[in-house]
Structure 1
Amino acid sequence: MKKFYMVLTMLLLFANMAKAQQTIRGWIVDEQRSPIEYANIIALSVRDSSLVTGAITDNTGAFQLSVPNDAKVFLRISGVGYTQSNVSLPLATDTLQLKAEAKTMEGITVTAQRPKMAIRNDALVTTIIGSSLAKAGSGNDVLKRIPLLSGKDGNYSVVGKGSAVIYINNRRVNDATELERLNSSDIKDVEVVTNPGARYDASVRAVIRIHTVKRAGDGFGFDARSSVYYWENWDTENQLNAYYRHKGLEITAGTGYYIDNGINNQTTINEVQIANLWENRWNSESKSRSTNNNYTLSAAYEINQNHAVGARFFTNLVVGKNDNHGVFSTDILKNNILYDHIESQIQGKASAIPNKSLSAYYVGKVGKLGIDFNTDYYYGRETDKKITTEQSKNYENRMVTTVGQHANQLFATKLVLSHPLLGGNLSVGNENTYTNHEQTFNNEEGFVANATSSIKERNNAVFMEYSRMTSIGQLMAGLRYEHVNSDYYDQGVYSPDHSRTYNQWFPSFSFATQIKKVNLQLAYSAKTRRPSYNQLGNNVSYVNRFTRQSGNPTLKPTTLHDLSLVTNWKILTLVANYTETHNQIMYWNEQDPNDENITTLRYRNLDKLPKISLSLTASPTIGIWSPQLTLFYQKQWFDIERLGRKFDLSKPIWGIQMNNTFEFKHNWTVESFMQFNSKGITENTELISNCFNFNCSVRKTFLNDRLSVTVGVDDLFNRGSQQVILYTNTLKTTVHQEFDSRQAYVTLRYKFNTARSKYKGTGAGKNERSRF
C-alpha cells in the first residue's frame, strides 16, 4: 500500500514540474449537433505533421488536451463514419462539427455505412446504430449476434475467456432481464474487452460494454413485452417498464413475471476403479418449475453537465410453485456382477425470502478531476428441501430428508478518480467489499453428517491505470493490488486451518495501433478466479446411497495469465488468446474410508493448465443479406495422474457459428442462427459427441417500429443434448443429458416514448456477489 501511494505521489510531483503547457478544450458534434463519442483529436506539428499528443471525446463529445506553450501545432479530428477534418489554432469556436462520410453515384448522395467492427482503445467494437442489428429486437437479440459472444438471457461468454460481465452506459448489469428490456434501436455500439484493465475486479476476464444513443424529450413513457414459449411445456416471460423524465430528473419503475418449466432426461454411469470395480448406472427423468417476480425502482438526477447522482432498488421474489420431481432407476455392479437395484423418487422444493439490493452513485467533475463513486448493499436467503425415497432390491429401503439453507450479505464501495497527466490520463481508485456467507445442511435420518459453516470475507483493493496516445499508438498500463482476508467458521467456531489471507498484485498492459488498414491490439493481464462460496462450503449433497457431492474449504484461488492479440481488417477480425492457469479448480473424487463403494465428488486444485484459442470472423453485407461467419479453435496441454499412469487431456475443440439476417421491404426481417461444436476436451471433461443448434425467426414491426411481433423456433432440430465424460484419479463418469431445448415462441412488444436511462452508477462489489 505504501509503495502504491509513493508511486502516485512521484507521478503528481513530476506533473507539477513539467514544462508549462496550454490546455485546449472543446466539443465534437455531428450535423444534427449531437455529441460524437470516441472521436479522435490529435495535435500534429505544423513543421512535419509529427504527433505531439492526442485525446478521445467522452460521451458528451468533450475533449481536452495539453501541448507545450511554444509548440506550433494544428488539430486533426476523425471519427468512425465521419470525414476527417483539420483545424488550426487558436480555435475560432469550442464546438467543432464533423460531417458524415458520403459518396455520389449517378447524382444520388448516399451516406456511407459505418464499419461494423473496429478496434478502439481496449475493445473490439461493433457499431449497431445504422446497421441491421438496430432492428434485432432486444439487447439479448443484439448480443447473440456479436462476434466472439455466445449465450442467452443475460448470460454471455467470450470465446477463450469464459463468462463476461456486462455494462450499460458504464453501469454494471445485475438483473439479467434488463437486456431484454433494452431496445436494439437504442444501442449505439457494443464493446467486447478480452483483457480488462486494472479498474476491473481481478476476477473479471471479459467485459461487454453497451453504449446507447441519447434520446431527447421529457414526459412519460413505457415499454411492455410478453413472450410465450411452447413445445413439450409452456414458459412465459412478461415485463412492464415505465419512466418519467423532466429536465435532469428521471424516475423509472419496472416489474417482471417469469414461469420456467424444465425437463431433463439423463443417463449416468459412474465407474470407480479401486480394489474392486464399482459401477453405478442410473436413468433419470426429472421435471422442474420455477416462478419469479421482480421489481425495480430507480431515480437519477443530472444536476448539471458536471454532476449527477442516483439510486436504485431491486428485489426478486420466488412466488408460486418452485419445485422439482425426479424418478431414478439405478443398477449397482461390483466387478460386473449386479450388487443392487434401486428405484428412487425425489421431491424437491425451493423457497426464499425476497432478496434485496440497493445501490447509489455520484458521478462528477471538479475542474479537471473526474470523480466516480458507487456503493452497494445486498441480502438474500434461500432454502432447498429434498425428500428421496429409495426402494432397494437387496438391501434396506430408505427415506432421506435433507434441508439446505444459505444466506448472503454484501456491502461494497468503489471510488475512481481521473485526471489528465503528461499528455494522457491517470485513473486511481479504491474498492472495498465486505461479505458474509452462511450455510447449513441437515439430514434428519443421519445418513449424511449435518453441517453449519460461515465465511466472512473482506477484499480491499487499490488500483492505478494510465493511458496515452503516442506517435506509435495507444498505450495503456495498469496495476491492481488486492488484500483479501477470509475467515472460516465451522459450527460457529473460527477455523484457522481453513481461513485465508491473500495479498496479490495484478498488472495489465495493452497497446493498440494501426498499420495501413490493419488495426492491431496486443494486451496482457494477470487475473484470479476465486472459488464460489458453494465450492468452499462443507455441505454434503445426497445423490444416492453410493454417491455424494461436497465443497472443499481448503481450495485456493486460481491465478491466470492472459495474453491476447486482436486484429481487424475490413470485414475480417482475428482474435488469438493464450492463457496459463495455476491452481485450476476441478472436480475430483474421494472414497469413504469406512465404505469403499461410497464416492464423494468434491473440488480440488490442480497444477498448471496452458490453453490457446483462435477465432476468425467475417461480417460482410450483401444487399438485403447480412451474414456473419465465425470459425474457432481451442486446445489445452494438460494431463492428470489416473489409475497410476499419466492420462492425456489435450484433444482440441473446434466449431463454426453462422448468423444470417435478411431485411425485406415493409419492415419484415428473417433471421437464422447455426452453431456447431466438435468433440474434444476442456479441463478434465471430454465432449464425446458433436453439438449442433439451429434457430430461426421472423419479425414484423408496425406503427413506426413501436409495435413488433416475432415468431420463431429455438433448436429446430432438437439437438440440444449433451454427452460428456468426467475423468479423475479413479473415477470415470459418463453423462448423456437431453433437455427440452426445442421451443416455438411468439413475442409481442410495444414501446411508447422510450428513452435511454440516465442512471450512471457502475456498481461496487459486483463480482463478489456473483460468488453467491
Structure 2
Amino acid sequence: MKSKNYYNKTNVTMKRNILLSVMMVFLAIFSYANDYRGTVVDENGVAIEFATVSLINSLDSTFIAGTTTGTDGKFALAASTPSAIVKITYIGYRPLFVRSSGDVGTVQLQPEATMLGEVVVKGARPTYKLTTEGIKTDVEGTLLSKVGTANEVLQNLPGVQKKGTSVEVFGKGTPLIYINGRQMRNESELAQLSSENIQSVELITNPGAKYKADVESVILIKTKRPQGEGFSFGTQASLWASKYPDLALGLDWNYRHKGLDVFGSVWYNDDRKKSDETVTFDVKAGKQWHIEDFVHNCSHANSLYSSWGVNYIFNDRHAMGARYETKAHFLNRATGWVVADVTADGAFYDHLDNDLLMKKTSNMPHTLNVYYNGRVGKTSIDFNTDYMFFKDRSNNFNREVSQEQQSRTVTSQSVQRNQLWASKLVLSWDLWGGNLQVGGEYDNTRRNDDYVNPENIVPTTFTEQRERNYILFTEYSHPLPFGQLRLGL
C-alpha cells in the first residue's frame, strides 16, 4: 500500500509538469513576437515627427500593423511575424521600404518634388498639433493643399491609410467623418472636395462622450471660407485607366454676398470594371465538399450627382444653413460567368457553367442636412439634423448548366428601401477654467428588404427592420500642466 506522502509528491510533480507545460506554451507564443523599431530622420539628420510607419507582409503585401513616429523620430511595432517590410511615408519625401526582422536602426528620408502634371509643386510641410483627443493637421498653405482631393489629404495623414474606397485609422478601424460639423454619409464627397479648399483636419483617436460608445475614431474636416463676393465657378476632371477607363467630370458653383453663401455641384461619373478571380470553398456537411469557382465579372455604371445648399452668417454669434443631395443612375449593369468544379470526399461530383446578368435601377436618393451654430449668452449651441431616403431594385438572371445534375435557370427580383432621421444637439459652457458639454442624439432608421424568386428555388422573403436610439451625454474637460482631465457620461 502506498503512503499518503507518495500521493502528495505525485500531485506536486504533476502540478509542476502542468505549470511547466503552460509556461512553455506561452514562451512559444511570445517567441514569435518581433519588436520592430527604428528612428526616422530627414535629409539633415533631424528627427521627423508624425511619419507614418506600416508593417507589410513580405509574402502577400497585406497590412499587418501601423503607427507614427514620436517627437524624437522613434517608432516601435510588435508583430507575430519573423520578417516583414517596414514602409515609412511622410508628405514631401520619397516612401522608404526596409525589409527587416527587428531593429531597422536610423533611416533617412529623401525629399521628393511633388508633381502636378509637369509642374513642380513647392510648399511647406504641414504642421501637426496634439489636441486633447488626437492630432490636428494644418492643410492650408502646405504641400497637403496641392495633393488633389480630400481622399489624398486623408491618406497622407499620420496614422491613416486608404483601404479600397474606405479610410481606416491604425488600430481604430473606419472613422466617422465630419465636414464642417456635418456627418459625411456619402464617400463620394471626399473625391469632390478639393484639397485647396481644406483648412485643417483633426484626427480624433480618443472620442469623448458626445460620440456613440462604438465609435473608436473620428475625422473632422474644416474647409476654408470662400473669399470675395459674386459668382464663382470651378471644374474638375479625373480619368483612371486600368482594364477600363473610369471618368469623372465635375462643375462647382458659388454665389456669395455679405453673409449669404449659395453653392452647388454637378458631377458625372462613368465607371467600368472587369475582374477575374478564383474562389475555393470547403464545407463539411455529411461529406467533405470542395468547390472551386473561376469567376469573370464585368460591370458598367454611370450616374449624375447633384448637390446644392445655402449658408447664412447673421453675425459673429449666429449661423445656419442647409444642404440637399441627390443622384440619378442612368445605367448599372453587371454581366459575368462562373465555372465551378465540385468534389465530394475527394471524388468528382459535378461541373457547372453559370451565366450571370444583373440590372439595377435606383430611385433618386434624397439626403438633406440642416444645421445651426450659435451662441446665446454664455451658451454655445451646435445643432445638426439629417434625413436620408433611397430605394434600389435589382433584377438577376442566372442560367446554370450542370454536367451531372439537372440544369436550371434562376431569376430573382429584390427591392431595398432605407430611411434615416438623425438629430444631434450639443450645448457647451466655459466653466472653472474648462469646458462643460451637455447634449443628446436621436436617430430613427427603417429598412425594408424584399426578395422574390419565381421558381421557388430560394424562399421568397419580406423583411423590415426598425430601430430608434436616444442618447444623452455630458462631458467636462479641463487642461492640466501634464495633460487633460476629462470626465464623461
| TM-score of the aligned structures, taking structure 1 as reference length | 0.46
The partner residue of 1:119 within 120, 127, 130 is 130
Name the SS of the counterpart of 1:162 in structure 2.
coil
Q: d(CA) in 2 for partners of 1:370 and 1:117? A: 27
C-alpha contact 2:355 2:400 (8 A) present in aligned 1:
yes
Q: d(CA) in 2 for partners of 1:164 and 1:195? A: 11
Change (3 A) 1:113 1:345: closer
The partner residue of 1:305 within 312, 316, 320 is 316
Q: d(CA) in 1 for partners of 2:466 and 2:343? A: 44
The partner residue of 2:340 within 318, 330, 333 is 330
Matched, 1:181 2:192: yes
Q: d(CA) in 2 for partners of 1:114 and 1:332? A: 57
Name the SS of the counterpart of 1:205 in structure 2.
coil
Matched, 1:458 2:468: yes
Q: CA deviation at 1:128?
A: 2.2
Q: Which residue of 1 aligns with 2:435?
A: 425
Q: Which residue of 2 aligns with 1:109?
A: none
Change (3 A) 1:151 1:114: closer
Q: Which residue of 2 aligns with 1:217?
A: 228
C-alpha contact 1:287 1:326 (8 A) present in aligned 2:
yes
Q: CA deviation at 1:154?
A: 6.7
Matches within 5 A, 1:71-90: none
Q: CA deviation at 1:245?
A: 0.4
The partner residue of 2:359 within 346, 349, 352 is 349
Q: CA deviation at 1:401?
A: 0.6
Q: CA deviation at 1:338?
A: 0.8
Q: Which residue of 1 aligns with 2:415?
A: 405
Change (3 A) 1:129 1:377: closer
C-alpha contact 1:144 1:152 (8 A) present in aligned 2:
no
Q: d(CA) in 1 for partners of 2:418 and 2:126? A: 45
C-alpha contact 2:237 2:249 (8 A) present in aligned 1:
yes
Q: d(CA) in 2 for partners of 1:436 and 1:175? A: 18
C-alpha contact 2:126 2:144 (8 A) present in aligned 1:
no
The partner residue of 2:374 within 358, 364, 377 is 364
Q: CA deviation at 1:142?
A: 1.4
C-alpha contact 2:126 2:142 (8 A) present in aligned 1:
no
Q: CA deviation at 1:287?
A: 0.6
C-alpha contact 1:243 1:252 (8 A) present in aligned 2:
yes
Q: CA deviation at 1:478?
A: 1.9
C-alpha contact 2:125 2:143 (8 A) present in aligned 1:
no
Q: d(CA) in 2 for partners of 1:465 and 1:231? A: 49
Name the SS of the counterpart of 1:150 in structure 2.
strand
Q: CA deviation at 1:449?
A: 0.7
Q: d(CA) in 2 for partners of 1:476 and 1:393? A: 67
AA partner of residue 122 (structure 1): E
Change (3 A) 1:153 1:224: farther
The partner residue of 2:277 within 251, 254, 266 is 266
Where structure 1 has 5 or more consecutive residues not aligned to the other structure, the ranges are 1-111, 480-772
AA partner of residue 459 (structure 1): N
AA partner of residue 404 (structure 2): N
Q: d(CA) in 1 for partners of 2:147 and 2:275? A: 31
Q: CA deviation at 1:439?
A: 0.7
Matched, 1:245 2:281: no
Deviation per CA, 1:46-68, whole angstroms, max 9, x where unpaired? xxxxxxxxxxxxxxxxxxxxxxx
AA partner of residue 206 (structure 2): N
Matched, 1:155 2:174: no
Change (3 A) 1:455 1:231: closer
Q: d(CA) in 2 for partners of 1:181 and 1:288? A: 23
Change (3 A) 1:155 1:278: closer
Q: d(CA) in 1 for partners of 2:369 and 2:124? A: 39
C-alpha contact 1:181 1:223 (8 A) present in aligned 2:
no
Q: CA deviation at 1:113?
A: 6.2
Deviation per CA, 1:544-571, whole angstroms, max 9, x where unpaired? xxxxxxxxxxxxxxxxxxxxxxxxxxxx
Name the SS of the counterpart of 2:243 in structure 1.
coil
Q: d(CA) in 1 for partners of 2:160 and 2:412? A: 39
Q: d(CA) in 2 for partners of 1:369 and 1:344? A: 64
Higher RCO, Cα 8 Å, sep 6+: 1
The partner residue of 1:316 within 323, 327, 338 is 327
AA partner of residue 381 (structure 1): K
Q: d(CA) in 2 for partners of 1:253 and 1:128? A: 23
Deviation per CA, 1:264-299, whole angstroms, max 9, x where unpaired? 211111111343211111111111112221110101
Q: CA deviation at 1:385?
A: 1.4
Name the SS of the counterpart of 1:179 in structure 2.
helix
Q: d(CA) in 1 for partners of 2:194 and 2:244? A: 28
Matches within 5 A, 1:128-147: 128-147=139-158
Where structure 2 has 5 or more consecutive residues not aligned to the other structure, the ranges are 1-122
Q: Which residue of 2 aligns with 1:612?
A: none
Range with greater deviation from structure 2 (161-170 or 346-355) = 161-170
Name the SS of the counterpart of 2:201 in structure 1.
strand
Change (3 A) 1:126 1:418: same
Change (3 A) 1:402 1:114: closer
Q: d(CA) in 2 for partners of 1:404 and 1:245? A: 45
AA partner of residue 346 (structure 1): L
Q: Which residue of 2 aligns with 1:447?
A: 457
Q: CA deviation at 1:466?
A: 1.1
Q: CA deviation at 1:359?
A: 1.6
Matches within 5 A, 1:414-563: 414-479=424-489
Q: Which residue of 2 aligns with 1:386?
A: 396
The partner residue of 2:204 within 193, 212, 227 is 193
Q: CA deviation at 1:114?
A: 7.1
Query: Could you say what the CA RMSD is over the residues aligned between the two structures, in angstroms?
Result: 1.9
Name the SS of the counterpart of 1:141 in structure 2.
helix
C-alpha contact 1:140 1:153 (8 A) present in aligned 2:
no
AA partner of residue 293 (structure 2): W
Q: CA deviation at 1:152?
A: 6.9
Q: d(CA) in 2 for partners of 1:247 and 1:476? A: 39
Matches within 5 A, 1:624-639: none
Q: d(CA) in 2 for partners of 1:172 and 1:455? A: 23
Q: Which residue of 2 aligns with 1:376?
A: 386
Change (3 A) 1:311 1:215: closer
The partner residue of 1:278 within 276, 289, 296 is 289
AA partner of residue 211 (structure 1): K
Q: CA deviation at 1:171?
A: 2.2
| TM-score of the aligned structures, taking structure 2 as reference length | 0.72
Name the SS of the counterpart of 2:365 in structure 1.
strand
Percent identity between the two aligned chains? 34
C-alpha contact 1:326 1:345 (8 A) present in aligned 2:
yes
Q: d(CA) in 2 for partners of 1:311 and 1:115? A: 31
Change (3 A) 1:477 1:223: farther
